[in-house]
């Protein structure tokens, strides 16, 4: 079998017919970023602008996400960003379980190829893939989980925060926590989440 690449996966996604969403899309949205990205963000589904441009998070949610990334000195170039479904659901309805399952093969291949040290889930559909169907985002947002040498970090979806301004401060705090994790990634991966200023932690390695 030939070697999997992000370009090959993207090409397959652009011509994918595994679920009915291909019938109503303008174009599929495979994802954006480099194959060596250390952090992968996984959102929900393309909206109107993403469907038009073929790029994830370029609409209102994307602008807010960029603002949050800038706040903690991260940039799109530092991350790979994709969604649990790669074609826009009609009228921006929630993706069906069957559509997420059909697209999961691409999610898994992108993760295997990029092998990120940290996966950030945006919203409940992405969270459910890594934290289980019964996890509640209001209970677990901002709490990292380490599994098989990788950090999983659940966040609210930016659109949910835009709809409910009361969540803004929480979202910002969760982003600052993410910065702290990035700056102390080895400590988090070792399962030790204690104060990084303690003398037991003389040297912390950052992802950047």
The residues of the shown chain that bind ligand URA, judged by CB under 6 A, are: 43-47, 50, 56-57, 59, 61-62, 83, 159
DSSP 8-state assignment for residue 55: -
Which tokens belong to 105?
């093969």
The whole-angstrom separation of Cα 147 and Cα 165 is: 32
Query: At closest approach, how far in Å is the CB of 199 from ligand URA?
Result: 42
The whole-angstrom separation of Cα 33 and Cα 79 is: 6
Of 3 and 163, nearer to ligand URA (C-beta) is 163
186-to-91, 156, 193 alpha-carbon distances in Å: 42, 25, 10
Of 53 and 193, nearer to ligand URA (C-beta) is 53
Q: What are phi and psi of 43, to 5 degrees?
A: -100, -150
Of 47 and 116, nearer to ligand URA (C-beta) is 47
Of 88 and 117, nearer to ligand URA (C-beta) is 88
Residue 13: alpha-carbon gap to chain centroid: 18
Residue with the CB atom nearest ligand URA in the bound state: 43
Query: At closest approach, how far in Å is the CB of 195 from ligand URA?
Result: 34
Of 157 and 187, nearer to ligand URA (C-beta) is 157
The per-type count for the chain, helices as H runs and strands as E runs, is 9, 5
Partnered with residue 80 across adjacent β-strands are 40
Query: At closest approach, how far in Å is the CB of 206 from ligand URA?
Result: 27
Query: At closest approach, how far in Å is the CB of 123 from ligand URA?
Result: 6
Query: At closest approach, how far in Å is the CB of 186 from ligand URA?
Result: 30
């Amino acid at each position: 079998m030939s070697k999997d690449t992000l370009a090959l996966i993207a090409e397959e996604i652009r011509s994918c017919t595994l679920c009915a969403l291909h019938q109503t899309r303008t174009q599929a949205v495979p994802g954006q970023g480099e194959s060596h990205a250390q952090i992968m963000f996984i959102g929900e589904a393309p909206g109107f602008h993403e469907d038009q441009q073929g790029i994830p998070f370029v609409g209102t949610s994307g602008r807010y996400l960029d603002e949050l990334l800038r706040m903690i000195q991260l940039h799109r170039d530092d991350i790979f960003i994709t969604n649990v479904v790669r074609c826009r659901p009609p009228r921006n309805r929630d993706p069906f379980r069957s559509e997420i399952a059909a697209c999961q093969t691409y999610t898994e291949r992108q993760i295997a190829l990029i092998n990120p040290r940290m996966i950030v889930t945006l919203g409940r559909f992405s969270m459910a893939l890594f934290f289980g169907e019964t996890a509640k985002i209001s209970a677990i947002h901002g709490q990292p989980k380490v599994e098989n040498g990788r950090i999983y970090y659940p966040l609210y979806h930016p659109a949910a925060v835009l709809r409910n301004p009361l969540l803004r401060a929480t979202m910002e705090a969760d982003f600052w926590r993410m910065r702290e994790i990035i700056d102390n990634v080895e400590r988090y991966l070792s399962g030790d989440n204690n104060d990084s200023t303690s003398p037991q932690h003389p040297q912390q390695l950052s992802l950047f």
